[in-house]
A and B are shown apart, each in its own frame.
Chain A
Amino acid sequence: MQKKYAHFLCASLLSLSATSAFAQTTSDEIAKYREMIAEGNPSELYEMAGEELWRQPAGPKQVTLEKCDLGLGPGVVDGAFAQLPRYFKDTDRVQDLESRLMTCMQTLQGIAQADVVNSAFGKGLRKDIEAVVAYVVTHSKDMKINVPATHPKEKEMVALGKKMFFFQGGPMDFSCASCHSASNQRIRLQDLPDLTTQAGAAFGWASWPAYRVSSGEFWTMQRRLNDCFRQQRMPFPIYGSDVTIALSIFMANKGDGGIVQTPGLKR
């Protein structure tokens, strides 16, 4: 089964790389490309792997993730992503999907969070989480973003996320707002959603995680934010840190009521 999966993935990526060179020139070309593969977003491969990982005993305790509580009760995956990030009583924290999965891996499977935090995107335990993310977000596709942030801790994280969004630093004075606080802005030909509006935030928040054609990889929101900080010339944001969760709930709350389009498909 694993082998078959690997073959399928390989063949698909090969055929993708042949077309991706043409997909990078203009937004029109990307739109055409989206149409071409509308019937099969490569994220499906990650989703399949993620579903397997969800049901597979793993870690020192050799337990599956099937009892993981993503906010709607143990094991409930349908609609779970649409209501994240949210406050969790057991950890007394606001958590996004990826930090919540780390909690489940630790409590259910005995996998130390530090082992996940210290691995790299696309590798090892992080690669497993990325696949599980693909599985979970697919089960909220076409649902409404439901992050009203009514709990006091959620409200506070939204306020902290807003401060982070406007925080300027580094040798180029950039903040998230430098690129994402006006409509119809672009870096080169890349359109930038205005994350200070409901529509822009709903699009920005809910079209990630996505399959990224230019790198041939599935990118979670944690990875998306990580690369934004890299381009802002900031230091390295720690995986699952409150900085990343605050920004996430700021976006999700601003985009509340919008439609979850994940997994997305990006340049």
Chain B
Amino acid sequence: MNKIYVRYCTAAVLLASLSLGAQAQTLNSKFDAMLASGFTAQGIAGLDRLKQDPIQALCSDPEVRNTPAAQKILIEEQTKAMAAIKPPTDGQYLGSWKAGEAIAQSGRGATWSDTTKAPNGGGCYNCHQISKQEISYGNIGPSLTGYGKTRGNSEAILTYTWNRINNSKAYNACSNMPRMAHFNLLTEQQIKDVMALLLDPESPVNK
């Protein structure tokens, strides 16, 4: 009795998962058609922006993203992201905190109403508290006020911070933070300047 039940049960589960799979497949193909017919290229924002890399594809599905199979791929992607980060070409991690503050303030760049002529901003204050003086800050990311003061600037902190800004996905594949170097959103010099904003003892962040 028990055996028969188990066999029946397995078949039922298998059937259910198969039919669910077919349903999900139909939905996925309808979704692809909807995407393809839903957008036009405008300015610098081309349709290639809808083509997802593995990180974007897996992080887009809240149900799939925490399954063991997805986690395995995401950890591989983290490793790849980490390996692709380039250290500063001249070995210097810190630029000018003043320039860094301006970059952190600016949220411009990469929209269809922007051009590639003007430098991009980092948009840091959109999501982070940074200098105490700036009261208009977002809270999607953690507060960075006192960042260097509390952490110091050991080699480990320098490289960790550098890596985080270059490609936050190297630590957490589904991090909300944009991959600043991976997608060329900020130049190497701009990243150095933002580094100084966080780590220079003279920066208002650490006062």
Asked if A and B are interacting partners, one says yes
Does B89 sit at the interface, judged by CB under 8 A?
no
Chain-A contact segment, one of B13-21, B105-113, B197-205: B105-113
| A160 adjacent to B183 (CB under 8 Å) | no
Assembled-state Cα–Cα distance A106/B186 (Å) = 47
Residues of A within 8 A of B49 (CB): 169-171, 233-235
Does A114 sit at the interface, judged by CB under 8 A?
no
For window 44-82 of B, CB contacts with A under 8 Å fall at 45-47, 49-52, 55-57, 59-62
Does A173 sit at the interface, judged by CB under 8 A?
yes
Q: Smallest distance from the beta carbon of B81 to chain A beta carbons, Å?
A: 12
| B139 adjacent to A166 (CB under 8 Å) | no
Q: Smallest distance from the beta carbon of A201 to chain B beta carbons, Å?
A: 16
Chain-A contact segment, one of B3-11, B30-38, B142-150, B153-161: B30-38
Counted as pairs of residues, one from A and one from B, with CB atoms less than 8 Å apart, the total is: 121
B residues with a Cβ closer than 8 A to A are: 27, 30-31, 34-35, 37-42, 45-47, 49-52, 55-57, 59-62, 110-113, 125-127, 136-140, 169, 176, 178-179, 183-185
Interface centre among A182, A184, A241, A244 (most CB of B within 10 A): A241
Assembled-state Cα–Cα distance A104/B37 (Å) = 22
Assembled-state Cα–Cα distance A167/B56 (Å) = 8
| B111 adjacent to A241 (CB under 8 Å) | no
| A172 adjacent to B112 (CB under 8 Å) | no
Taking A171-B178, A238-B39 as given, write out 16 further A-B residue pairs in contact, using a Cβ cutoff of 8 Å, ordered by the A residue number: A156-B30, A160-B34, A170-B110, A171-B110, A172-B178, A173-B56, A173-B169, A175-B60, A187-B127, A189-B136, A230-B112, A234-B39, A236-B42, A243-B34, A243-B39, A244-B38
Chain B, Cβ-Cβ closest to A230:
B111
Chain B, Cβ-Cβ closest to A177:
B62
| A169 adjacent to B126 (CB under 8 Å) | no
Residues of B within 8 A of A233 (CB): 45, 49, 110-111
Assembled-state Cα–Cα distance A231/B38 (Å) = 17
For window 149-166 of A, CB contacts with B under 8 Å fall at 156, 159-160, 163-164, 166
Size bin of chain A's contact surface = 35 or more
Main secondary structure of the interface of A (DSSP, over half): mixed
Q: Smallest distance from the beta carbon of A254 to chain B beta carbons, Å?
A: 14
Chain A, Cβ-Cβ closest to B48:
A235
Does A186 sit at the interface, judged by CB under 8 A?
yes
Q: Smallest distance from the beta carbon of A82 to chain B beta carbons, Å?
A: 25
Does A76 sit at the interface, judged by CB under 8 A?
no
A residues with a Cβ closer than 8 A to B are: 156, 159-160, 163-164, 166-175, 177-179, 182, 184-190, 230-231, 233-238, 241-244, 246
Assembled-state Cα–Cα distance A230/B140 (Å) = 19
The 3 lowest CB-CB distance pairs between A and B, nearest first, are A243-B38, A236-B42, A171-B183
Query: What are 29 A-B contacts with C-beta separation under 8 Å?
Result: A160-B27, A160-B34, A163-B27, A163-B60, A166-B62, A172-B185, A173-B55, A173-B56, A184-B139, A185-B139, A186-B139, A187-B126, A188-B126, A230-B112, A233-B110, A235-B40, A235-B46, A235-B49, A235-B50, A235-B112, A236-B40, A236-B42, A237-B38, A237-B39, A238-B38, A238-B39, A241-B34, A243-B39, A246-B34
A188 with B136, Cβ < 8 A, contacts A171-B183, A173-B59 known: yes
| B40 adjacent to A238 (CB under 8 Å) | yes
Q: Smallest distance from the beta carbon of B168 to chain A beta carbons, Å?
A: 9
| B35 adjacent to A243 (CB under 8 Å) | yes
Find B59's partner among A163, A168, A179, A184 (CB 8 Å cutoff).
A168
Assembled-state Cα–Cα distance A167/B139 (Å) = 22
Residues of B within 8 A of A172 (CB): 110, 178, 183, 185
A235 with B37, Cβ < 8 A, contacts A175-B60, A188-B136 known: no
| B136 adjacent to A166 (CB under 8 Å) | no
Chain A, Cβ-Cβ closest to B178:
A172
Residues of B within 8 A of A190 (CB): 138
Q: Smallest distance from the beta carbon of A248 to chain B beta carbons, Å?
A: 13
| B35 adjacent to A166 (CB under 8 Å) | no
Find A168's partner among B40, B46, B52 (CB 8 Å cutoff).
B52
